[in-house]
Structure 1
Amino acid sequence: MELVALVWLGMFSFYISSNAAVNSGSPIVSRHGAGSQYLSYEGLVMCGYQGWFRAEGDGAGRGWVHYCSGGRFDPVHLTVDLWPDVSEYQKTYPTTLKNKDGSFARLFSSWDESTVELHFKWMQDYGVDGVFMQRFFGVTRSDKSRKEGHVILGHALKAAKKYGRALAVMYDLSGLKAAGEDCSSIIQDWKELVDEIKLTSQGNNQTYLYHRGRPLVAIWGLGFSDRPYKISEIGFDKLIDFLKNDPVYGGCSIMLGVPAQFRDLKGDCVADPYLHEILARVDVVMPWVVGRYSSNADQDISRYGVHVKADVVWCTGRQLDYAACVFPGFSWYNLMRQQAGRESPLNQIPRKQGKFYWDLIGAAIGSGAKMLYVAMFDEIDEGTAIFKCANELPVVESPVHLLGYEGVPNDHYLWLTGNAGQVLRGKSSFVKDLYLRLNHDVKSQ
């Protein structure tokens, strides 16, 4: 009884003090830590991190996820174009595919803590600054999916702190329905992340990414013309107000992932001026350019540079910071093969052994970008991954096809990404042929 009374008294005292704080006009204490090792996105190269791969037997109970459609490993329903090099993983799981030596090809699961830790170790080894942990709208809909997402994010928080890498959450609006739901579930999810896994309060040496002195929350996918809803009808104003102004969970900076043609409100962007009203309330703009530029078009690198420069001018004039999006190549042949009428060629945007990626990086930095967003760290579904992938591939039969890394070392894109950070921070000059990897190196940080 004494313990219950003390607990009740403590709760009552908190209630009184909280209401007194509101009534007196003094601020309620924020749940966020006062600071971080990373107080600004400026000068950093951050990657998107999906963390969505599951395998039969990994303990998640979902079978094979994001490697194949349908939950079981069936080569005909394979949905990845790149094959990860799993030689360094503590835990891997056998597939039904075989290597050339007759052994069963194996894959990792993002569910395993050792997998996530290895990825963050690679980031430290090669000087990759950190990642935005992708959190899709569908994850926020139910307690079950949110809790599953907490597991991966918890692994990442621990590994980011261990290896000194920056980490932030990026909500992806993909999957938001045309009617019957809005952004309210993101608000609930953010509260849980802050309260339950202490996302932004990991101690004095936490590595959650801050920007303009506040925790940075990214939201991707607003304003794309292929979405089924009107952007003014999904409660986005309420979400922005919460993240900015809530006395307990707010006080955040916001990065918004928008279409490439966000300035002109055309092409891949909705023709709705409301998007510009929303942009006036955020802190960082990151236009999505994956698939908008190609290594097959001779003028695309210079066209990209012109685009970035104009974006920077537009954002600077509106007191907005700008993150340039870069990617190493693109291929989603196997994924689209599952969808009738949406077939896509294998190796749609070739990497050219890193030349395309490195040229985009040089154009972005040369055009005034001070922050880079790499799409993506582990996205083998769409062939944009920069982590270690294999050149020696499992044996597959048509119509299934896989891509190797064009003979470059398995760490080539991690290495280039680390070098990008050195150039971005002015610690080294941009060397156009660096992607050839001749007498060049990068030190981890």
Structure 2
Amino acid sequence: FKLSNGQPAKFFSSHDKSTVDLHFKWMQQYGIDGVFMQRFFGNAKNRDKESLTVIKNAFEAASKYERAVAIMYDLSGLGANGEDCSAIIEDWKYLVDELKVTNQAGKKTYLHHNGKPLVTIWGVGFPDRPYNIRNIGLEKLIDFLKNDPVYGNCTVMLGVPTAWRTLNADCVNDPYLHQLIKKCDIVLPWTVQRYTPLLHNDMDRLRDNTIDDIKWCTDNKLDYVPCISPGFSWHNLSRYEFPDDVKPVGSIPRQGGRFYWQQIATAINAGASMLYVAMFDEVNEATAIFKSSDNPPVSAVTSFINMDGKPSDHYLWLTGEAAKVLRNQKPLTLKMPERK
């Protein structure tokens, strides 16, 4: 890739320790509480050196900059060929024993919820998955994380589809999902691509869903965290993933942060007391909130989206402002805040 001035465009690697250090430094600088380290099923199963290096560096940086950090197991990659969640159980033992994730050197910053270490299991109830939630050992995994005498006593968050409560639309129509949810502690619905600024009054739909979700969770003694995202685009990725259905560029536009702040304000007004931001550094689906250039590479083959003329740190700053609202350090405004 080349920039408009002909210079080669450079990109970072999360395998590089200084990259991870800088990312956590930004979190501290902008008042972002911390991150979930996404650990895919394949990484857990194969325990590859690369992903373990990133985790080690992340926990070191989290301690250095006093940012929260937690493990999120993503079931993507789990097949239909008899595999189950036992690999995750073994991986959690390894992370606790060998990497000391819940007892890292220096400042202890592993994310706790209600006094217990928080572990997330993501990808439960999506109909496009090859696995069936009834036969991959999810109850055993949840029971292990909550009740094992050595590795348990954890709070468990479950990552589910947007329509988890009604069991339709983007969710499997299986009431067993509700049984699993009730065994956990926090519900995290995946709402990326489910709302858009291009649909009139779509924030009303987000508000109503959030209110109804929170009521269901309250009735069942569960906590609830809405998922928000600055925008979405996977045109480039879709050319390889589904060449028969290539997606448009910038399909869910950021509108300079307007869409992001609309979701923040809507979720908080609907009763949310915490927010999950998707994502810190996911570039291939254009959800990243970290620093991005308004002068992306120029290519006849690959399309890039810019920052709508906003500063590179615009979404880090907005996320920090949302965090202040959640901490009651400033009042919520419906209009996106402006920097002084």
Q: Same fold (TM over 0.5)?
A: yes
Q: TM-score range by the shorter chain?
A: over 0.9
Q: Equivalent residues in 2 for 1:54-93 (5 A)? A: none
Distance in 2 of aligned mates of 1:403 and 1:104: 18
Identity of aligned residues (%): 54
Letter in 2 for 1:190: W
Aligned equivalent of 1:176: 78
- Aligned match of 2:293 in 372, 382, 390? 390
Question: Which one scores higher on RCO, CA 8 angstroms, separation ≥ 6?
Answer: 1
Matched, 1:362 2:265: yes
Tell me if the contact between 1:237 and 1:278 (Cα under 8 Å) persists in the aligned partners: yes
Q: Equivalent residues in 2 for 1:97-136 (5 A)? A: 97-136=1-40
Tell me if the contact between 1:120 and 1:163 (Cα under 8 Å) persists in the aligned partners: yes
Aligned equivalent of 1:252: 154
Which whole-Å deviations, capped at 9, do the CAs of 1:134-171 have from their partners, x for residues lacking one?
0001111224x2x3221101101011111111100000
1:248 deviation in Å? 0.7
5+ residue gaps, structure 2: none
Tell me if the contact between 2:262 and 2:336 (Cα under 8 Å) persists in the aligned partners: no
1:301 deviation in Å? 1.0
Aligned equivalent of 2:327: 425
1:204 deviation in Å? 7.8
1:324 deviation in Å? 0.7
TM-score w.r.t. length of structure 2: 0.97
Tell me if the contact between 1:150 and 1:193 (Cα under 8 Å) persists in the aligned partners: no
Matched, 1:414 2:289: no
- Partner-residue secondary structure (3-state), 2:144: helix
Distance in 2 of aligned mates of 1:234 and 1:152: 27
Distance in 1 of aligned mates of 2:5 and 2:41: 42
User: Of the two, which has the highest radius of gyration?
Assistant: 1
Aligned equivalent of 2:281: 378
- Partner-residue secondary structure (3-state), 1:378: coil
- Aligned match of 1:284 in 179, 182, 186? 186
1:308 deviation in Å? 0.6
1:337 deviation in Å? 1.3
Distance in 2 of aligned mates of 1:432 and 1:237: 41
Letter in 2 for 1:336: S
Tell me if the contact between 1:305 and 1:363 (Cα under 8 Å) persists in the aligned partners: yes
Tell me if the contact between 2:64 and 2:107 (Cα under 8 Å) persists in the aligned partners: no
Name segments (4+ residues, structure 1) moved above 3 Å.
Answer: none
1:205 deviation in Å? 3.4
5+ residue gaps, structure 1: 1-96, 440-445
Which whole-Å deviations, capped at 9, do the CAs of 1:343-388 have from their partners, x for residues lacking one?
1000000001000000100010110111100000001100100000
1:228 deviation in Å? 1.7
- Aligned match of 1:303 in 205, 211, 215? 205
Aligned equivalent of 1:228: 130
- Aligned match of 2:140 in 227, 238, 244? 238
- Aligned match of 1:353 in 256, 271, 277? 256
Alignment RMSD (CA, Å): 1.2
Tell me if the contact between 2:228 and 2:275 (Cα under 8 Å) persists in the aligned partners: yes
- Aligned match of 2:214 in 295, 309, 312? 312
- Partner-residue secondary structure (3-state), 2:203: helix
Aligned equivalent of 2:93: 191
100-109 vs 371-380, which moves further:
100-109
How many residue pairs align between the two structures?
A: 339
Tell me if the contact between 2:41 and 2:75 (Cα under 8 Å) persists in the aligned partners: yes
